[in-house]
Structure 1
């Protein structure tokens, strides 16, 4: 049997190597399968985002992020939560993405996350849960927010929560003794005071159930819900607060943007067509003749600029002033400005309307007539003079129809039409300009 021992030793090394190789191969295949699953989920989630099926897109992106965390998936997931109206969850996601992008030196994604945070900050609801002092066993109270136990360090601090209904409950020694439902709207701040537990009663000695008088008539107290292992998105703290508990009120309020951060600017250029119509306008003061009239009834090419300055009242509504200034081929101009509202339709389109005040002018040739008497009798004469006429003070309406061409961290570029019409004492004017405009957010 001795000659077999060297043969066994020679088999051990190749066999061990084969087993290690097979294990590595299986592990590699499993890792590749997980990566491909994460990538597939990401592609499916992105496709659903494009189709605006956000309720279906978010779970796929969440699972993709769980399998293979990445900055791109985190940004898409935060964007998905924003479109679902879960502004607090989206805000937290963009906070995390901002820190990740800053650490990685990705300036473009950092700027994008910062822009979305600035836009979402005014919309986030905040909930403060105040715990009352006193009462028996107050130090043994557990406060639950939507079924998840709230860390005592977060008590009496403002927490970002998604709009909608939230359940706040309090339990003492494993039994819920108080519960309420709070409904929050965007931008709303709500305080909830949790009462202290009642004085604990002395525990009676255990007796058999059949010997306890009136046992059937005593209502059973409801046990406290077990907090889930995973943290609910609604109760998530800020990224900085994950290290230090939670921000205090001062730092939270300081993070909200001021008025200057909510200003909106837009500038653009256009070309189009201007049409003017009016009855005969007396231009005698210009020509110096007795009777001279000029009739407006023609169109001309128009080129100029448009602008908007406003204030983001809500995430979906900008209030401000729009202005139009254009020159046209009939040697005249168009001026109009007035209060305006602008509203996005989905992710790509924007509409708006304006109440406009302004005027339009035009230059051309006027025919003049003159009458006189002399020794030869009645005399009649006429001449052609150059004249510039105006509609006078005019009032009208304007519209804004925009389609987004591209996004950047600071704003968006739009293909834009801004039709308008003005009605004055001496006539009317209408224009149909088409151009591009950039809107800074």
Structure 2
């Protein structure tokens, strides 16, 4: 009979929880977000379920209680992992990471002299006792998420007066609080109301102290694993997946231009000969393509050239995992002597082994370098190509070039046109700075060996190195 009574009581809780969840859905459709969230919390307290927990986190986010939502998303992610619900894992993780920089945090320090057995520290909206979240002892002295607005820290202990401190927090703001030695008293007059953020796992329905202690330990371990909190004194956090990644660096290095043929309008007016039928010859002029169709289209020939490039690289992407990032990268540089490069394309970076990052980028774009003009090539009309060894162009000696290029030592810009190629990333983390704010990232020293090829005239090889900061 006793077993049957317990079973009936449990069934009644499940039924009541289902009713509350439906009521929450109705309230949400009516725009009564706060009331809907309270119904979902009641439902979860009666019958803990992974789906209800995730719905409650989404509801608190919509309500604007981002700190509470963050904690609930962390908890929902853990439960979903245990239940092997990958869809919920993804939703909870993406939502949690999106809130990361927006959530205010409070660091509550309890000195040894102030610590007593049974002490509990809570933080949350000052206006509602139900909004206070228990800070596990392992999180004392470390930043803990809370909601923005009028907030208070509440500290209770047996036979001690309750201590509170109220203040206001903006989104993303941080504040440190030190707990004084509590005065003697009667202890809390009423126990704190139950909260989902303090709730045991679904399996631990006995609710006894042993189960609570076990659940607190598991929660602390998971929170340590997922987000080592920032103490305000440096990088004690962890780079997470699901975040936007932004990388900005300064570069300097060498550039070898292998563009051996390219258009050059400065040699227009150069006259050249091509063969016709029966040993005849025809005269054409570079730049004059109307006199004889197919003739007069000329390129200059260039020597290979070395240059120094100086510029930067930029990457905008997404952290697929903690160690794999995908997005788009651009490399931009000027040259000495005069020239430039504009390259970019899809890019992937991954942590090969601490502190080494490797990456690969497929690039398209263009380059130009100053090089010595060594001659030219002029086009041959299609009808005369058989008389010119089936070539579409004939060589023009440098001595015949117009525009002052007949000396063989004058330089001009060798333009690569449309080029395709690839860039390899070799980066070493000099300073790792994982934090809970917008400065979370890594200071890197990087090398970017790059090669590009132009279908019409050659290519280029570059080896820039530099320093940069990757926000992730």
TM-score normalised by the chain length of structure 1: 0.41
Select the structure of larger CA radius of gyration. 1
**Larger strand share, 1 or 2:** 1
TM-score, normalized by length of structure 2? Answer: 0.38
Which protein, 1 or 2, shows the higher relative CO under an 8 Å CA cutoff with sep ≥ 6? 2
